[in-house]
Amino acid sequence: MALTKITGEGVGSLDAITIGDGTAADKKILFDGNAQDYHIGLDDSSDSLTIGLGSALGTTSHMVIDASGRVTKPLQPCFSARASIDNIPLTTTTTIPLSNERFDVGGNVTSNTFTAPITGKYLFTYMLFFTNLDADHTGLDTHIKTSNFQYQQTFRPDHFLSADSNFSVSGSVLADMDAADTCIFTTRVAGGANTSDIHVDSHVSGVLIC
């Protein structure tokens, strides 16, 4: 849509610009580049300020600011998925299978692995519900394992279990990742004779923070 009104005020320089005339219509400024076009515009139907890719307002929104000042990033890489496993092998570091993705913005999770689409700082979290823990288990480790580092929590079930039981663990980390680095969630159970499980109500998640 063409500009319906543009006015300027000031002496020797342009101090203010008004785009539009107050009627109900989308307004935008288009940056016409060689390889990519970008726009900043008013989406009048939602009363939001949008920064996006391309020449069409609202088709590929990168950042949206609503009238209350709340900011959303519709394309920000993030995911949430269930995490479960039956019969965790003893004394073996085992990758936790991921399934039933609640969301995966950008499609960066495949084969139980998150792959960073760009370099940045990523927040990863997990809530794991272990069932059938053996009171004789001497170690329970959980890991957030990235290409750069392994972040680990360690528990001693034989210190707090008087009998076979269930136990929940949770954790998070802000990890530095380069583009194409990967992240998996793993566990290791040691000691005892019985195998334990991670219940299907467990989940993991991740998001690009900055």
The enclosing H or E element of 159 equals helix 157-160
Question: Are 56 and 138 members of one domain?
Answer: no
Residue at a domain's end among 72, 93, 120: 72
pTM for the full predicted model: 0.87
Bridge partner residues of 20 (DSSP):
none
Question: Are 65 and 82 members of one domain?
Answer: no
* pLDDT at site 160: 67
Question: Are 40 and 59 members of one domain?
Answer: yes
Question: Are 85 and 177 members of one domain?
Answer: yes
Could you tell me the CA-to-CA distances from 79 to 94, 113, 135, 149 in Å, in that order? 21, 11, 34, 20
Question: Are 82 and 61 members of one domain?
Answer: no
Q: Given pLDDT bands bounded at 50, 70 and 90, which one contains residue 109?
A: very high
Residue appearing with tokens 């707090």: 160
The overall average pLDDT reported for the chain is 90
Question: Are 26 and 89 members of one domain?
Answer: no
Question: Are 62 and 114 members of one domain?
Answer: no
Question: Are 98 and 199 members of one domain?
Answer: yes
Residue at a domain's end among 50, 72, 94: 72
Question: Are 56 and 29 members of one domain?
Answer: yes
CATH number at residue 95: 2.60.120.40
Instruction: Please determine, for residue 4, whether its predicted confidence score (pLDDT) is greater than 60.
Output: no
- DSSP for 6-64, please give it: EEEE-SSS--EEEES-SSS--EEEEEE-SS-EEEEEEETTTTEEEEEESSSTTTSEEEE
* pLDDT at site 78: 98
Domain total for the chain? 2
* pLDDT at site 1: 45
Average pLDDT, stretch 91-100? 96
Instruction: Please determine, for residue 70, whether its predicted confidence score (pLDDT) is greater than 60.
Output: yes
Q: What are phi and psi of 157, to 5 degrees?
A: -55, -35
**pLDDT tens digits along 5-17:** 555 554 456 677 7
**pLDDT tens digits along 119-160:** 999 999 999 999 988 888 889 999 999 999 999 999 887 766
Question: Are 23 and 101 members of one domain?
Answer: no
Of 143, 147, 141, nearest to 183 (Cα)? 147
1 occurs within a structural domain: no
Question: Are 68 and 141 members of one domain?
Answer: no
Average pLDDT, stretch 19-45? 88
The enclosing H or E element of 160 equals helix 157-160
* pLDDT at site 192: 82
Instruction: Please determine, for residue 40, whether its predicted confidence score (pLDDT) is greater than 90.
Output: yes
Q: 160 lies in which domain range?
A: 78-208
- Sign of the Cα torsion 83, 88, 90, 92 reads negative
Residue at a domain's end among 44, 72, 100: 72
* pLDDT at site 22: 80
